Every structure is written in structure tokens, then in C-alpha cells.
Structure 1
Amino acid sequence: MARKPNLILFVTDQQGADMMSCAGNPWLKTPAMDELGRRGIRFEHAYCSNPVCLPSRVSLFTGRFPSDYGIRSNSLRNCTMSDDAAQESLGAVLAKAGYDLYYGGKIHLPKAIHPEAMGFNYFTRDEREELARLSAEIVRRPHSRPYCLVVSLINPHDICLMAIRDFPYDKLCQLFVKKLTTEIATLDEALKLPEGMDEDEFFATCCPPLRENHQPQEDEPEAIRMLLQQRPFKWAARTRYTEREWRLHRWAYCRLTERVDREIGIVLDALDQADDAENTLVMFTSDHGDMDGAHAMEHKTAFYREAVKVPFIVSGPGIEPGKVDTQHLVSNGLDILPTLADYAGVAAPAGLRGRSLRPLLEGSGEVSWRDVVRAESEFGRMVASTRYKYARYEAGASAEQLYDMEVDPGETRNFAHDPEYQSILADMRSAFEREFAGFSLPFDPDQFETV
């Protein structure tokens, strides 16, 4: 009987779907991520379940929407998660299948599903190079049983500190700037210009331009402005950053992504040296993206593509190499747990709304798949097909938004009031009501996320 495959899950922080050179981004080089794409399948339509750290990570490790536990933001004050949640978590499922479990790096989870509670050996709190080095040691060593290794890396999240440091308007921002010395130092390194190059040459030849959708949407949901104004550094970034400062923000975001790519590369190099490399499934994703200057925003939370779409690549035994899937909608928060359970040969917990990706990964003929994917945040909810996105925000004017991502990929125009789109609008409304049937978690403006 063939041994069950080893499972490696890379989770970066705040990396948008287009922040890889294999995704066509010319402003950075990500050889490790590109190599994963060459070895496996990259999904173009992968979404997080909530474009903020903690709720997205809750979903990643439970296979359930964070709102199922009363969570819509980085705040836990309305959290209903009990200690029993760990019993149906990713770690518990794989432990039942006979796996050794290792988790290193960023946690940002409720205590009930901290790595140890899920059954993982939490081997380091480091979220950077040391995590990569220790993960490589685990991969290289001989294993008598199959293992699951979670490598939870912090970057390119350090980009968050740029606006917080530039506009430290409240005590929380000031505390971050004072305490997060490693993050600030890493950001400063990413902000450096190439050696020997002056600013004029840099901006003329090396620095990314503004995104094509840099200007705020004309019919922007009022809830987005509420979000920005509630966190003054966000509003200051929108209203006070110059074109060059926005472009420098984009430059640093690219460099931080290259940094985390190098860390992933350390682990992949070790895997290439391991005896069981051919029997190891590797999955790579991020908890959410970053606005990266789109709509004159940084950070996340909104339902624009830059924040809610994530990289998603899977390689391993039986998986077709070098394929780009442009047809299927993936929810990384819902689909990772049932997929890994499938490869581990054990049933996923009952009641999960996600699906195993294995039939898509192994090309098992025609597969009936979801027609929309769902995401939620503390101030709204959305559904998306491969072409259309419907968002409904829970405060202010212009709350209902319909985007045609084929006609307007930058999501600069709301088609909800366009006569030619009323049939599409009705279909997307129906999909929204179906996906959110029974949803009752109230909007709480005091929960707006911080970093």
C-alpha cells in the first residue's frame, strides 16, 4: 500500500493574487513561486473568505466561514468559538489520519485553535528566515510517518507599516511604530533605492507606475470611506500621498514579496534534497491581498480584487504540471481542509461547505463545481463568478455594487444601475441570497480592522 503523501502548506500574509511573476507581474521576480507553478497548477480565481488576517486564518484552519464563529474582523469580542472547534480543525483531521504535525510562524488565531490546540508541534515563533531554515531542516530529515508542515510567513505584510509610520495619528499607530522594530527595519530595507541610482532615474526606469485603477471609484461605497476615515492613517494615505509616494509603496510591496519568495525557496530547495520529495504535496496561498494603491488605498478589507483574490498553487504527485486553471472558483478558506483530508485518506468534518480540489488537480474528467464564491468582511458581503462580482455593503450610500471584471477588470464602475445589466444583477442577487441564507451576524462599525 502506497504511503500517504507529505503535506506542506505555505501561507504568506497580505499577498495579492497578481504579486507573482508567473501571474504576469513584470515588477518583481518570484522564482520559488514560479517554480511551484511550473510543477503544479495555479488557480486564477482563488478568493479568501474574508480579506483580513484573523478571520481569513480561522477559515483556513477550520474550513468554515469566520462568521460561523461570530468573527468578522480582527476583533474577537463577539467570538463564539468554543474549545471544541479544535477537534474538527485541520490539525485534528490529519492527526486522525496518522500524520506528524508541524506548524511554524505567524498564528493570529483564536486561542481555541492555536497550533498546539489543533495538535501541531509549534516549533518556532519566528515568521521569517529562521522559520524557513527550521522548516527546511524538518523537510530534510527522514520521516517514519507522513507529515504535514505549515509554514506561516509574515511578508509582504510589513508593507502595512508604511502608512502607519507616515501618519501615526493615534496611540495604536504610535505603539506599532515603537514596538515593531523588526517590521520597520524590514520595511526600510524594502524602501531602499537600487545602489548608485538617484531618484529621477529610479522613478523613470525601475519603480512601478500607479495602478491603472489608482483613482477612487466614482460610485464608491460610502462604507469604504467610513472605513478609511475611522482609521486616520488610511485616510491620510489616500489624501496626502503623492504619486511618487504611492509608487514607492508599490516598490516596497514588490521587494517584500521577493523576500518571502526567497524564504519559500529555502524550503523548496530542502524538499528537492529529500528522499520523499516525489511523495509530497505542496500548497501555497495567502490569507488576503493588499490594495497596493488601487482606488488610492493600501491595506485590505474591501472587496476589490487586490484585497480579496489570493495566489493559490498546488503541486505534487499526480498533479498536472504547468497548468493555469481559469475556469474554477476556489475558496482557500473552505477548500484547503477538505483537499488535504482527501489526500490524507480521511473524511473531512461533516457540514463543511468547501470541496476537495483533488478532481481538479488530477484532471478527473468533468467535475460539477460552484458557480460563485463567497466572501465576507466586517462591513459587507460579496459573491463572485468568474466574470461578475456582486457586493453589498452594510452602511452608507452606494451599498450595492455590481462589477463586470471582463469589461472593467479594475472594478472602477458600478453596473448595478445599468439597464443592460439588470438580468445579471438579478442573477447575482439570487446567488447572494442563496449563499448568505441564514446569515445574521450584525454590522459593528467599532470592529474595523487595524493591521
Structure 2
Amino acid sequence: MGEGQTKRPNIVFILTDDQGAWAMGCAGNGEVKTPNLDRLAASGVRFDNFFCTSPVCSPARASLFTGRIPSQHGVHDWIREGSVGPNAIEYLAGQLAYTDVLAENGYVCGLSGKWHLGDSVKPQKGFTHWFVHQTGGSPYYNAPMIRDGQPYNEPAYVTDVITDDALAFLDRQAEEGEGQPFYLSVHYTAPHSPWLNGNHPQEYLDMYADCPGESTPLHTPKHPWLIKTAPGEDNRLESLRGYYASITAMDANVGRILDKLEAQGLTEDTLIVFMGDNGFNFGHHGVFGKGNGTFPQNMYDTSVKVPAIFSQPGRIPQGVVSAAMASGYDFMPTLLEYAGLQNPVAEDLPGRSFLPQLLGETPGERTDVVIFDEYGPVRMIRYEEWKYVHRYPYGPHELYDLANDPDESANLIDAPEHRETREAMKAQLEQWFVRYVDPAIDGAREPVSGFGQLAEAGVRGKGKKAYHDLE
């Protein structure tokens, strides 16, 4: 711990589902209303270049918790089967999560909301409080939840209910915690679809009744690889309005959490992290959805960049927007270092702590950082000014000059003048993945469709069909 710290910080980690990095007022979006996220950003550091490790929910979430890339933890697509029932699968069994380390060092760990990493009935990874969604996504009313080990359908609006449970956890800690630090994960299903047909309170829908939808390129022609994994394409403007309504409803609940911590006098003792699991496209590149909005899967910045805000007044600088590049695989080492704890598996993990940048202790950004992503057989390497995407085994591949083409509109893969750049980036990508991939669950050999994972990957699956077919 840093000088002057007498106790470990409490940690509240708020994670949203399918929220594009562009879908916040503080990120420059003039249509979506996020006053509480804007307030949180003003009190801390917002990262403009934070990347998920895989542009779909379950793999990205597994990487946040374990610090491993998908080809190390084995979750290569969103979990379609194995969440509940007699054939439930604990996809991260035997893998250390940062919450395990926190719990072993005296933290009381609670989870309210979406788990979506298998065997949802069973509390895992050091959590002693466990109120979770049975699967991943669902309607916002009558959502399938698990409370006290019992599956049930929640009649109330699930965004509110997740927050109610989180606030009850905070109240219990205030009354019974005996000074123990706490870690609380608040994992909203918002703003994941559905957005229409009465899924959100009318008061929030009314806020967007006249929204023109000018904050996204809604009318871009459809991408030729577009597949039906998100519903926004069919009713574009009304879907965007519903998407924004779900975000504003979630934002109001974030405000409830911030207010509770303030009322308890815990704001300066608590690290608050707000993050999205993966990016999202609402017409960007002609895509509606995330990495699996197309087949083959895409690695556009709008799919792989996520919102990321860190706040603890008195320790983290306020009102800072950082251009430093960081990844979901950097989250575990950063969080543990922030809490003053050793990472016992650091040598096996690809991530590196960005704590100096977070605390403003270094004058410059992390200029030598390279970002790597994977989604099944699709892999990406990204520099500050260049991006290369490789699709095993046959392509198509992509190369973008981000300095001159930030919208990734001109694929330079066949441009002879960029051959050396392409070859150097491909070589670096292959060397990096060879270093960290577990050959038994190597995503480059997995037939990931974007329509869900059915069983464990690679040899762990013992011959079972591991992925749903392309629809």
C-alpha cells in the first residue's frame, strides 16, 4: 500500500453489458443522458483507450476476473449452455480470480447481477454474497435470477433489483463488517437487448421520445458480413432510443450507489470502477452488435473499446481523461496492486499494472503498450496508430492505418507499400500468442460461431460439441 494508507480500500466494481465506449455523456455523446457517470468521471480518471480482451460478454468477463486471455481460460464465446441445471459447467474451475486473492486477504466479497461464467447456482471465486442472473441476458421484467441458491423469476425491473441487492450488501457491511474491507461487484444486464416492447420504465423511454439518433451512424449501409445476433437493425431509431433509455435507467441506479457510499462516509475509502464488458455498434461500420455482429467476427474499435472510469477521491486524480492504452487483462494486476496485494500468478499472465498512469505518477502515457484481442480464430494486434487483424486459417485479414483512418474504412492488407508493417505486426501477434496460449484450448483451432458456447473448449470438452452452429 502507498504511503499514508492505514487500511485497504473498499472496492465497488460496476460492470455493464454491451455498452459502447461512445455511449456516455462524458465521452462526448450529446444524446444519451448519463449524469451520474459524468459525475463519476469528473471525480476520477476516464480511459479513452480501454480494450476488452474479446468483443463478447463471457470471454471478456472471464478475462477481467482471471487476468487470462480466452486461450488460457477456455471461454471463447458467450455461455449458451452450462449455466443452470444438471449439466451445469463451472467454466473457470481451478483458475485463480482476483476475488479469490481479495477474499484470502480479508475482503468480504459480494456479487449482485450477471455472472454468466457457468454453474450460476454455485457461489464461486471467493464470493460469500451471491445474487445472480441465471444465464446472461433476458427480459428486464420477470428476469430469471438466483437468490439464496434458489432460482426464481423476478417480477420487478431487474436493473433496480440488482441495485437494491447491492445497497443491502453495503448496509450489512456498515452494520456487521467490523471494519473489514469489502469488494462488491454490481453487474447490470443493461444495456443489453431487449430494448422495446415494454422492457424499460416509461419515464426513461419518454426521455428519448424525440431523440433524432444523430449520435450514431444509424443509416450506414449494412455490413456484408452482418448476422442476426442483435435486434437493432430492424427498427434502428426506436431500438437506439430503447438502448439509451436502458442506459439512463442504469445510470440512475449508479447514482443510488454513489449516494449510498457518500451517506455512509465511504467515498474516500472506496475505489469505484465503472466498466463495460465489451464494445457495441449501433450502425457503426454497418454493424448492429459487437464482435459477433458479423461472421467472421470483427475487431473494430467500436467492438473492442469499452467505457472505463476509476475514482477514489484523495488517491486518484480528478477530472482526468487518459489516452493510455490498457486491456481487460491488465485489470487484475492493477486492482491487486492498488489494494497492496501480491498477484501469485503474475508470471503466467499477459497483463501489466497501469497503476502509475491511474495515479498520475508518470508524466507520459504507456507509449510502448500493444493491445491483443481474440475471438475464437480471429486475433488482433493494435498499436496506437496501426491495427492488424488475422483470421485463422484462411482470412480475410485486415490492416488499418489508424492515424490517418481512425474509422477503419480502408483495409490496406494488400497495399505493397505497407508489406513490412503487415509482416512485423503478424510476427509480433504470433509470438505473443505462442507465449500465452494453452495449446489444449487454443482459440485459433476452435470453430467459434458467435452463437454461443455449449461445453468446455478443446480437449477439456472430451469430444463434446463445444459451439452452437452458425444460424
Shorter chain as denominator, the TM-score bin is: 0.7 to 0.9
Aligned positions of 1:68-87 closer than 5 A: 68-75=72-79, 83-85=93-95
Equivalent residue in structure 1 for 2:286, among 267, 284, 296: 296
| Residue of structure 1 equivalent to 2:336 | 341
Measure, in 2, the Cα distance between the counterparts of 1:325 and 1:93.
28
* Structure 2 counterpart of 1:377: 375
Q: Tell me the distance in 1 between the aligned counterparts of 2:61 and 2:55.
A: 10
Deviations 1:329-366 (A, max 9, x none): 1112x122112211222111322221222211112225
SS in structure 2 of the partner of residue 67 of structure 1:
helix
Cα displacement string for residues 69-120 of structure 1 (whole angstroms, at most 9, x for unaligned residues): 33211257899956322xx212211012211111111110133x98722121
Where does residue 172 of structure 1 map in the other structure? Answer: none
1:315 Cα offset (Å): 0.8
Note closer, same or farther for the CA distance 1:129–1:77 as it changes in structure 2 (3 Å cut).
closer
User: Which of 108, 127, 143 pairs up with 2:116?
Assistant: 108
* CA RMSD after TM alignment: 3.0
- Give the aligned residue type for 1:105: G
Q: Indicate the percent of aligned positions where both proteins have the same amino acid.
A: 28
Tell me by how many angstroms 1:51 deviates: 1.0
Distance 2:276 2:20 in 1: 8
**1:253–1:292 Cα contact (<8 Å) kept:** no
Partner residue in 1 for 2:277: 287
Counterpart amino acid of 2:164?
Answer: R
Equivalent residues in 2 for 1:34-433, closer than 5 Å:
34-75=38-79, 83-85=93-95, 88-111=96-119, 116-125=123-132, 127-140=158-171, 141-142=174-175, 143=177, 144-159=179-194, 185-186=198-199, 189=202, 192=205, 202=210, 206-208=212-214, 211=217, 214-216=220-222, 224=225, 228=227, 231=228, 241=234, 245-301=235-291, 302-316=298-312, 317-326=314-323, 328-332=324-328, 334-350=329-345, 351-365=348-362, 370-394=368-392, 399-433=396-430
The one-letter amino acid paired with 2:129 is: Y
1:189 to 1:447, Cα distance in 2 relative to 1, 3 A: farther
Corresponding letter in the other structure for 1:27:
E
What code does the residue aligned with 1:185 have? G
SS of 1:390's partner is strand
User: Separation in 2 of the partners of 1:388 and 1:28?
Assistant: 30
Counterpart CA distance in 1 for 2:384 and 2:122 is 34
Secondary structure of the structure 1 residue equivalent to 2:281: coil
Distance 1:216 1:435, change over 3 A: farther
Aligned mates of 1:71, 1:106 — CA distance in 2 = 16
Could you tell me which amino acid in structure 2 is paired with residue 416 of structure 1? I
| Contact in 2 for aligned 1:43/1:324 (Cα 8 Å) | yes
**Secondary structure of the corresponding residue to residue 324 of structure 1:** strand
2:148 matched residue in structure 1: none
What stretches of structure 1 of length at least 5 have no aligned partner? 163-183
How many aligned residue pairs are there?
A: 400
CA-CA distance at 1:237 after TM superposition? 6.7
Counterpart contact for 2:378–2:444, Cα < 8 Å: no
Counterpart secondary structure, 1:255: helix
Aligned-partner SS, 1:157: coil
How far apart, in 2, do the equivalents of 1:210 and 1:147 lie? Answer: 39
Higher helix share: 1
Distance 1:74 1:9 in 2: 21
**In the TM superposition, what whole-angstrom CA distance separates every residue of 1:301-339 from its partner, at most 9, and x where no partner exists?**
22112221100111114111111111x21112x122112
State whether residues 385 and 401 of structure 2, in contact with CA within 8 Å, keep that contact through their aligned partners in structure 1.
yes
> Does structure 2 conserve the Cα–Cα contact (< 8 Å) formed by 1:237 and 1:297?
no
| 3-state SS of paired residue (2:33) | coil
Q: Which has the higher contact order (CA 8 A, sep 6+)?
A: 1
Q: Aligned letter for 1:92?
A: D
C-alpha distance in 1 between matches for 2:318 and 2:36? 15
Amino acid at match of 1:348: N
> Tell me, what secondary structure is at the counterpart of 2:427?
helix
8 Å Cα contact 1:70-1:80 kept in structure 2: no
Task: Give, as a single letter, the amino acid of the residue that structure 2 aligns with 1:342.
Answer: E
1:74 aligned counterpart, secondary structure: coil
Change (3 A) 1:342 1:295: same
Contact kept? 1:210, 1:247, Cα under 8 Å: no
Do the aligned partners of 1:95 and 1:101 also contact (CA within 8 Å) in 2?
Answer: yes
Whether the 8 Å contact between 1:190 and 1:256 is mirrored in structure 2 is no
SS for the counterpart of 1:129 is: helix
| TM score, norm. by length of structure 1 | 0.80
Q: Deviations over 1:23-81 (max 9, x none)?
A: 00111111111111111111111010111111111111111112213321125789995
Aligned to 1:175: none
Structure 2 contact 77–452 (Cα < 8 Å) conserved: no
- 1:170 matched to which residue of 2? none
> Which ranges in structure 2 are unaligned for 5 or more consecutive residues?
83-88, 133-144, 146-157, 292-297, 454-471
Q: 1:188–1:82: structure 2 CA closer, same or farther, 3 Å change rule?
A: closer
Shift, 1:4, TM fit: 0.9
Give 1:124's aligned amino acid.
F
Distance (whole Å) between structure 2 residues aligned to residue 383 and residue 444 of structure 1: 19
Name whichever of 3-12 and 208-217 sits farther off.
208-217
Change (3 A) 1:104 1:210: closer
Deviations 1:138-174 (A, max 9, x none): 3352541111111111100124x66xxxxxxxxxxxx
Contact kept, 8 Å, 2:90 with 2:117, in 1: the verdict is no
Q: Which residue of 2 aligns with 1:9?
A: 13
What SS class does the counterpart of residue 128 from structure 1 fall into? helix
For the residue of structure 1 that corresponds to 2:161, the secondary structure is helix
Question: Any idea what SS the aligned residue of 1:402 has?
Answer: strand
Call closer, same or farther: CA 1:99–1:209 in 2, change over 3 Å. closer
The code of the aligned residue for 1:117 comes to Q
- Equivalent residue letter for 1:412: S
Relative to structure 1, is the Cα distance of residues 82 and 285 closer, same or farther in structure 2, using a 3 angstrom cutoff?
Answer: closer
Q: Is contact 2:204–2:249 with CA below 8 Å preserved after alignment?
A: no
Task: Find the residue that maps to 2:239 and give its secondary structure.
Answer: helix
Whether the 8 Å contact between 2:30 and 2:215 is mirrored in structure 1 is no
Which residue matches 1:435? Answer: 432
